[in-house]
Amino acid sequence: MVKEKVLKGVTNLLILRNIAKSPSYGYVLQKSISEELQQNLPSGAIYILLRNLERKRLIKREGRINLNGRLITQYRITEEGRQFLKRHLAPMETVIRVLYTLIDDIKKMNL
């Protein structure tokens, strides 16, 4: 349960970071984030996270019809999403600093 919550939070941040760099599509996000996490996200999980981020107004979607007549959806970060990332920068820096110290201490214990 804890692993899933941590993974969800990290994945949300990765989604926001990726679409802050450049608007993207769900499938592209799922592939790139799975590669970055070095594990496959469950099928459709990215779309649940995208809907939640949209509900929180951190992202918005834009649909258009492609050449084959299919509706495709591209996701963009909102100003609220940019502010969300900025607010989380300091806490993430604290967590990473503590994790590096913790990892180093555990390695020194020769467990």
Residue 1 clears pLDDT 90, i.e. is over it: no
pTM exceeds cut of 0.85: no
> Which residue in the block uniquely carries the two structure tokens 């592209």?
28
Domains along the chain with CATH numbers: 2-108 (1.10.10.10)
**Average per-residue pLDDT for the chain:** 91
pLDDT category at 17 given cuts 50, 70, 90 is very high
42 compared with 17, residue with greater pLDDT: 17
Rounded distance between C-alpha atoms, residue 96 and residue 111, angstroms: 22
CA distance 51 to 90: 26
> If we measure between CA atoms, which residue out of 58, 69, 48, 64 comes closest to residue 20?
58
In the chain, pLDDT over 90 holds for what percent of residues? 72
**Pairwise CA distance, residues 95 & 3, whole Å:** 16
